Amino acid sequence: MDILQCYHNSRLLVDWSDKRIWFAVASIVFNPTFWNIVARKEYRTKFITRMFNGNGLHGCYALAATIFTLGLIRDAVFKYAVDAQPKAQCMDHWFLQALAYFLFAVGNIFVLSSMWVLGVTGTYLGDYFGILMDERVTSFPFNVNDNPMYNGTVMIFLGTALWSLSPTGVYLTCIVHFVYRIALRFEGPFTTDIYIKRDQDRAAAKKTTSTPAKKQTKKDL
């Protein structure tokens, strides 16, 4: 059976009445919605920073721990939903299984290398706390992918779905991809504005310090 025929035969193998699917969807949608709302509120009001006595770094670490934990919960709910759904045995095809391993491996490389390059504050919205990077990161994996964290995560989900022989997992992965695309539409311009403002403030400060004081003359006295 070829892959296209497998798709036609397995695309209806989803039990949409299973509440576990909807828990997975809710978790997938909730996570980026949560961190975007909280991070923007922090940027405007510094409410997390105030909770940590004005220490933005500690506030960022707290948000990072929260986002990381929510991610673990999402992954567990996703796997729980996938394992409870019907399997498509035709997906046990050498090409699809090789693709699953490839996606899982490359996705993890993208995610882990991104975290290594960016560090905790760069990965977990430190710029909303005023912890900005000196310059744009252009090394791997950002030199081969504009959004390696998000795209790598989608690849991991899809690899897991294929390896699990799960049409449900493929559908859920599509939702992950769609939600991340929406999140990027909000995060990208907002983060860009943060750095534009930083650069404008730097330029204004530099201009102020470089302007020589007006020399007094006898006429001025």
Annotated binding site for S-adenosyl-L-methionine: 105-107, 187-188
Alpha carbons 44 and 49: distance in angstroms, whole number: 11
Task: Tally Cβ neighbours within 10 Å of residue 84.
Answer: 14
**Residue 99, both tokens:** 């693709």
Instruction: Pinpoint the alpha helices (H) of 46-147.
Output: 47-51, 56-84, 94-123
Alpha carbons 215 and 150: distance in angstroms, whole number: 56
Alpha carbons 193 and 187: distance in angstroms, whole number: 10
* CA end-to-end span of the chain: 96
**Residue 187, both tokens:** 């995060």
Residue ranges at the known binding site: 105-107, 187-188
10, 89, 90, 185, 191 from 86: Cα distances, Å: 9, 9, 12, 34, 41
